[in-house]
Amino acid sequence: MSHEKQYTTHLEDEKVMPQEHIETAHTFDPESLHTTAKKGANTQLDDAARLLQEAGGHVEYTPQESKRVLKKIDLFVCLPMCLVYFIQQLDKSSVSYAAVFGLQKEANLHGTQYSWLSSIVYIAQLICQPLSSYALIVFPVKYWVMFNMICWSVVTAVTCVAKNFTGLIICRLFLGCFEATILPSFVLITQMWWVRREQSYRTIAYQIANSFAAIFGPLLSYAIGKATEKSDVLKPYQGIFLFMGCFSLGLVPLVWYLMPNSPTTAKFLKNGNDRLIAIDRLKENNTGTKSSVFKWDQFWETYRDPKTYMWAGMWFCAACPSGGFGAFGGLITKGFGFDTFTTILMQIPTGAIGIFSLLVCIWITNKIKMRWPVLAVVVLFPIAGAISLTQVNHKKTGGLMASYYVAYLFAAIQPLLISWCNLNAAGTTKRVVTTATMFGALTIGNVVGPQVYLTKEAPLYHTGLYVDIACWCGEFILVVSMGFYLKRLNKKQEARRVALGLPANLKDISIMSTAEADAYRIELEQLMAASGANKDMLSEGAFDDMTDFQNPMFMYVL
């Protein structure tokens, strides 16, 4: 694909977003569009664009061939992502399980030291974000993920020898360093492999793996606790750390075998036109796949984009309660009067709640083709549950557990945020930096979350619950505001396309179902023909590594 196929606006003074008033052109002028495209867009072609160019710029394939390639992608990309996310959650949550088995007493923890064992993980993740962002652009993503997975597995296993606060916090510090890259990596991988109608389901898939860890982890901890209860060699909390780390290491060879680097190099796409089909499918996104050059203009654009700060606020408001509930959930329920082993088992339904809520939410989301209304409704449930926890008589165990489980619907908030925000940025550097910024806000929230659960307030933890309620209220306001803001941006994008001679009221094919997309393409051909344009013009700049601000064909997902 040549540089002349890149898109941008023809407005002379536009740096970031189009002006409010745009002079409308009445005819479509491809040459004018191509000439002005060079001015605002990056000239570094995407890796995928290079391969398509070498193949003649186009590949023919049937819907059946596209489905066959998609199944391969799900097996070799989505499956290892689910495994890695499952393992990461087990390793990260091991300290919560260990706490139920007396970690504080055995390691002589006092004051806020246990809270810091959770917070330090996220402080390390925050510090490591710049390195992680740079590494995701310049290094093959598979090798970067595998390096970190091996390292955090070793760290988890080694944590079993830590017998005091100093040893534990050093291990947790390194755990955070090596886990820092996983969520940003997976957001980038999702954008590299699937069209936007498919991304939500794949994002939810590895988030559901997270919820399975919430079911599997307590069962494992229960078994390990029983096995080591009378051991003279290992205490229960040590056995949990050792087993979780070794289990993680045991899955490394399988993940290494399955996980590819990108559509341009994946070995499982070497047959026939599979690689070109995998790349061509992504044209609808208008986000590209992955460029291996860090682009400073995209970096600065990220921080001139109001969405960046709104996303960051949403992630903080989601993470702060998550950090507190995640670290203190077991202690909260133990305070209801349960013994150690019953407390562990009472955590199992939280995983089932997470799975059920995610499946229902993503089904509704794809049905109505909108994210923000679903997310706004979900946020109301943890607000209600947390308020109930502060009001229900602490002797009424049934009411407390019901309130706790309703509040645990917060587990759906972060996955839904991930599946929403990663659809609304384009350009490799901008996507990575945006994700890193949001993840930075998430880590800050996870640092703050455990700190507001005060030891002196155990087992009620009212301060922590009140802070969580405030965060979820802020989340609701930000979600609704973002929905209206993205709608406004789409109107601006439409005005830019009309100014270039394209028809108004174009729809986003990338979020339609396959059947809806096929039906709309017929209507689209008629609309484009009436404007004197070819429908392929809408995606010809898809692999030119342009940002959403530079590409007038980009459509924001509400």
- Cis bond upstream, residue 63 (ω within 30): no
Give the CB-side neighbour count of residue 161, counting CA atoms within 13 A.
6
Listed in sequence order, the residues at least 6 apart from 243 whose beta carbon sits closer than 8 Å to its beta carbon are: 220, 224
Task: Give me the phi and psi of 415, to 5 degrees please.
Answer: -60, -40
CB 97 within 8 A of CB 156: no
What's the CA angle centered on 194, arms 61 and 476, to 5 degrees? Answer: 145
pLDDT score at 310? 95
- Look at residue 48 and tell me if it is in a domain: no
Nearest residue to 376 (alpha-carbon basis) of 421, 403, 412: 412
Structural domains counted in the chain: 1
- Look at residue 18 and tell me if it is in a domain: no
CB 441 within 8 A of CB 316: yes
In angstroms, rounded to a whole number, what is the distance separating the alpha carbons of residues 490 and 465?
A: 38
In angstroms, rounded to a whole number, what is the distance separating the alpha carbons of residues 510 and 431?
A: 18
Query: What is each CA distance from 269 to 144, 198, 313, 431, in whole angstroms?
Result: 21, 19, 39, 25
Query: What is each CA distance from 106 to 98, 168, 532, in whole angstroms?
Result: 10, 12, 76
CB 34 within 8 A of CB 289: no
Domain residues for the domain of 284 are: 63-262+277-290+303-488
pLDDT score at 21? 35
- Look at residue 361 and tell me if it is in a domain: yes
- Look at residue 87 and tell me if it is in a domain: yes
Reduced to 3 states, what is the DSSP secondary structure of residue 240?
Answer: helix
In angstroms, rounded to a whole number, what is the distance separating the alpha carbons of residues 428 and 434?
A: 10
Please, what's the b/e burial string for 420-457 (b: 16 or more CB within 10 A of its CB; e: otherwise)? bbbbbbbbbbbbbbbbbbbbbbbbbbbbbbbbbbebee
- Look at residue 517 and tell me if it is in a domain: no
Q: At what angle do helices 141-158 and 113-138 cross, to 10 degrees?
A: 160
CB 64 within 8 A of CB 169: no
In angstroms, rounded to a whole number, what is the distance separating the alpha carbons of residues 156 and 352?
A: 25
Beta strands per DSSP E along 186-345? none
Beta strands per DSSP E along 57-115? none
- Look at residue 374 and tell me if it is in a domain: yes
Nearest residue to 203 (alpha-carbon basis) of 74, 92, 292: 74
Give the CB-side neighbour count of residue 479, counting CA atoms within 13 A.
27
pLDDT score at 6? 38
Task: Give me the phi and psi of 453, to 5 degrees please.
Answer: -95, 95
pLDDT score at 485? 96
Please, what's the b/e burial string for 329-361 (b: 16 or more CB within 10 A of its CB; e: otherwise)? bbbbbbbbebeebebbebbbbbbebbbebbeeb
Nearest residue to 371 (alpha-carbon basis) of 181, 191, 184, 203: 203
Residues of the chain short of pLDDT 70, as ranges, are 1-58, 284-292, 326-327, 533-544
Q: At what angle do helices 182-193 and 196-228 cross, to 10 degrees?
A: 140
CATH of the domain at 147: 1.20.1250.20
- Look at residue 284 and tell me if it is in a domain: yes
Please, what's the b/e burial string for 113-122 (b: 16 or more CB within 10 A of its CB; e: otherwise)? bbbbbbbbbb
- Look at residue 503 and tell me if it is in a domain: no
Centroid of chain to Cα 471: 19
Which DSSP helix (H) or strand (E) runs through 189? helix 182-193
Which DSSP helix (H) or strand (E) runs through 307? helix 306-334
In angstroms, rounded to a whole number, what is the distance separating the alpha carbons of residues 442 and 176?
A: 13
pLDDT score at 51? 66
In angstroms, rounded to a whole number, what is the distance separating the alpha carbons of residues 117 and 113?
A: 7
In angstroms, rounded to a whole number, what is the distance separating the alpha carbons of residues 259 and 137?
A: 17
In angstroms, rounded to a whole number, what is the distance separating the alpha carbons of residues 70 and 335?
A: 48
User: Hey, how many other C-beta atoms are within 10 angstroms of the C-beta on 411?
Assistant: 24
